[in-house]
Structure 1
């Protein structure tokens, strides 16, 4: 009886032990995966034994597969992403300028192990790039007066791009482009600019009115010249003989008219008649 009981207890203990081991094994299994556009840094994080550390690289989308070891993955986005920095910088004329600067950066393929082990993994931008990027922007902007920044924005972007590319040349990171966002001046400056533009517009209108008045005066002068010339020609042609000729022609026309009521008395100078209206 005792022997059977011992055998039963031994079997039960064995089943319990197997169950515990099975549960432990299942909980210890991992299946690291990496999404598309990413590379995965697979590493071992053992509980009680094992060397740990880097195991393999995954290029997404991919799975590492089930393992009894405590394998994990750190995924790094390899696609181009835009990193934006906001600035308030004193320009060369000590005016505080507010603007954003954008850098499009990506991680080179096949470099995930280097990124994780040397550059801080997924925090590579704030740890390795951000402050250098901001320094290059400040240095470039402070070479110009505030009023020149909008016209020089392309030159500033080129200068920052060249410096940042040189800085990243021997790293796993690649610069695609840098872009300056809207440049905002202090409100007092914006108001002053608006007033200056309004004054320029008013001045332009005044110049236009002045030009119109000048043209009107020229037209009137030309008209006066035309009238004077006409009068000169008329005066030159109004001789006594001409007036006498015109008077005689007028008399003939009136004489030929059946309904005239005017009587001509040819007692004027040079035979030009005096005219009397009949009532």
Structure 2
């Protein structure tokens, strides 16, 4: 519309050049033709609107929002309408205690009271997108700042409303998934009523009070010490059992030797040993008579 307005001004100057200045009268034709050209070009361009990828356009004519949604690409519109573009791709809104992570400067984490009266700090990321067909409704009822009015406000409110049903330790550990599912269902309904679609809800961090964290750490340390002691006791029991089995084996061996080893068996084993020596190529045998024992006396000597 800027070109059309400029062209209209030039046309007026050309038509009134003679009355305004004698010098302008010589440029009357040029001003008129140039003005007409800019006017036509401006009107032509203002009737064509380009919508980017992942966007939709909403038309407003004299304060009234049109129901027709402009899709991505080129569209022909009334040159008098204003077109507001909405991003329909997935967007994220993060509320975090870390100053550089969230959309808001500084600490923007959500502080809630649990069922046991403790303050819990929650970092949250909301993934959502604008429903294309609902863009005119969003513009007319909420405005372009729907992220602040809907996404931020509803998310913080629903988390506070539902956190009161859980103890602080349960939020941190055993019932964290249940809590996330519960607030997701609550936020999803509110988003749907406002023309938004909730894609995912991510609880990034839950920070407990320092006193509770110290108590949990002490409990975990005590459990680890107990498990370590159980391991040591089990190991000692296994070692004692091994020693008992070893002692029993030695006792059984001694009993067998004491009960079954006789003099005749000893004589037999001695004779076998002497025979082995006698047949050795490096020794000679001299049998000495006169011995009183059950085994003849042998004299061994090297060859």
Kept in 2: contact 1:92–1:145 (CA 8 A) = yes
Cα distance in 2 between the residues matched to 1:123 and 1:129: 10
Matched, 1:34 2:44: no
Shift of 1:221: 1.0
User: Bigger shift: 161-170 or 245-254?
Assistant: 245-254
Cα 1:101–1:245 shift into 2, 3 Å: closer
Cα 1:125–1:243 shift into 2, 3 Å: same
Which residue of structure 1 aligns with residue 180 of structure 2?
Answer: 157
Consecutive unaligned residues of structure 1, counting only runs of 5 or more, are 45-50
Match 2:71 to one of 56, 59, 72:
59
How high is the TM-score relative to the length of structure 2? 0.64
Shift of 1:123: 0.9
Shift of 1:215: 1.1
Kept in 1: contact 2:65–2:140 (CA 8 A) = no
Give the superposed CA RMSD.
4.2
Matched, 1:76 2:93: no
Q: Which structure has the higher relative contact order (CA within 8 Å, separation 6+)?
A: 1
**1:182-197 → structure 2 map (5 Å cutoff):** 182-185=205-208, 193-194=216-217, 196-197=219-220
Cα distance in 2 between the residues matched to 1:169 and 1:184: 30
| Cα shift readout 1:223-279 (whole Å, capped 9, x = no counterpart) | 2112222222222235xxx3266348637965995447999853xxxx678x9x9xx
Shift of 1:20: 10
User: Bigger shift: 144-153 or 243-252?
Assistant: 243-252
Consecutive unaligned residues of structure 2, counting only runs of 5 or more, are 1-17, 96-108, 279-283
User: Bigger shift: 226-235 or 245-254?
Assistant: 245-254
Count of matched residue pairs: 254
How high is the TM-score relative to the length of structure 1? 0.69
Which residue of structure 1 aligns with residue 145 of structure 2?
Answer: 123
Cα distance in 2 between the residues matched to 1:145 and 1:118: 38
Cα 1:251–1:84 shift into 2, 3 Å: closer
